[in-house]
Amino acid sequence: MKLHDIADIKTGITFRNRLLDNLDGEIEVIQMRDINADLSISGRLVRISNEQIKAKHFLQPGQLILLAKGKYTKACMIEPSEKKRVISSAFFSIRIKPTQKVLPEYLRWFLNLPQSETYFRSNASGTSMFSLPMSVLKNLDVAVPPIEVQEKIVHLVNDREKEKATLMALEEKKDSYLQQLMLHEVYKD
């Protein structure tokens, strides 16, 4: 099944000028620099006033965004937020159609697979800084197993992410302990 059969895909907003942070702004703008290595979205986003932003651009919890320009393509999930959020033109927004039986978490996993990344890279324009055409994204073949299988995959992915985070925290503690031990040896006199 093609991605455009499963989801509505739109481009982000093109801002004519550099975005200046408005501390009183009601809308947060997600830009390329706001995507963390773990595919979470930065907690500190540029805020703008509500002027000239149409409601159709506001992101909803559970919606996906896909980085379409830069060095890599990665899909992120929009989490609930007190502020309204929009994306810059460096992203596509992907909203699963209500008639489709696809979990957003499953689709995010699928979009972040190495096979999807290879498809995007082979069909993108540019070399070091690529640009992904919407037509390429829309024509991505997406395997859609039964919802029970999607739930199992999401559960396994979540468990693996927790395991990675635990292992990383353990490695950091080991490093800290070893540094303390070595410093103790250096300054033990």
Per domain, the residue ranges of the chain are 3-144, 145-189
Residue 130 in this model has a pLDDT that exceeds 90:
no
Strand partners, 48: 27
What beta strand segments (E) does the chain contain?
Answer: 7-11, 27-30, 46-48, 64-67, 69-70, 75-77, 84-87, 91-96, 130-131
Q: Model confidence over 32-91: pLDDT tens digits? A: 888 887 788 887 888 888 777 888 889 999 899 998 887 778 899 998 888 889 998 889
What is the chain's mean pLDDT, rounded?
88
Query: Can you tell me which residue has the tokens 């550099």?
Result: 18
pLDDT band at 101 (very low <50, low <70, confident <90, very high): very high
Residue 189 in this model has a pLDDT that exceeds 90:
no
The CATH-assigned architecture of domain 3-144 is: Alpha-Beta Complex (3.90)
C-alpha 20 chain-centroid distance: 23
pLDDT at 17: 76
Q: Model confidence over 140-152: pLDDT tens digits? A: 999 999 999 999 9
